[in-house]
Amino acid sequence: MSHAYLIIDDSKLLHQMYQLIFSRPALAGSRLIHAFDGKAGLTQLSAHPEVRLIFLDLNMPGLTGLEFLARRRAESLQLHVPVVMVTTESSAEDEQRGLAAGAAAYLRKPFTPEQIEAVVARVTQPVQVASPS
């Protein structure tokens, strides 16, 4: 069974990079859903309940990544789907703001295919419930 991932970024080049990364053996068979701004991202998220993970750019025209997270929370739109904030912003304050707004992880551009594979594995792994002894 393939997994669906929502890519929200205003850069066409970044969408092409994700396409290449998700064609690698570790992520092969994944389906990417593309949005080029936050507003389109909300629309795509509404239309695709099968989305398993969102890669979200912080700085976009129109609706920014933080505004996307706020609107998503206000609309209770698939809140169970984790978000990876992906950005060129590298300060600790920017990272803290993204995590406080609801991102499950923060990834700095430029990223490597291995970083994407690792964050997908980490963020989408099932929660292990400890059994009572």
pLDDT score, position 1: 47
Which carries the bigger pLDDT value, residue 132 or residue 77? 77
User: Facing residues of 53 across strands?
Assistant: 5
In the chain, what percentage of residues exceed pLDDT 90? Answer: 76
Nearest to 83 by CA among 112, 47, 42: 42
Which residue is listed with tokens 């933080």? 66
In the chain, what percentage of residues exceed pLDDT 70? Answer: 92
**Element spanning 35, H or E:** strand 31-35
pTM to 2 decimals? 0.91
d(CA 60, CA 116): 20
Say yes or no to pLDDT of 92 above 90.
Answer: no
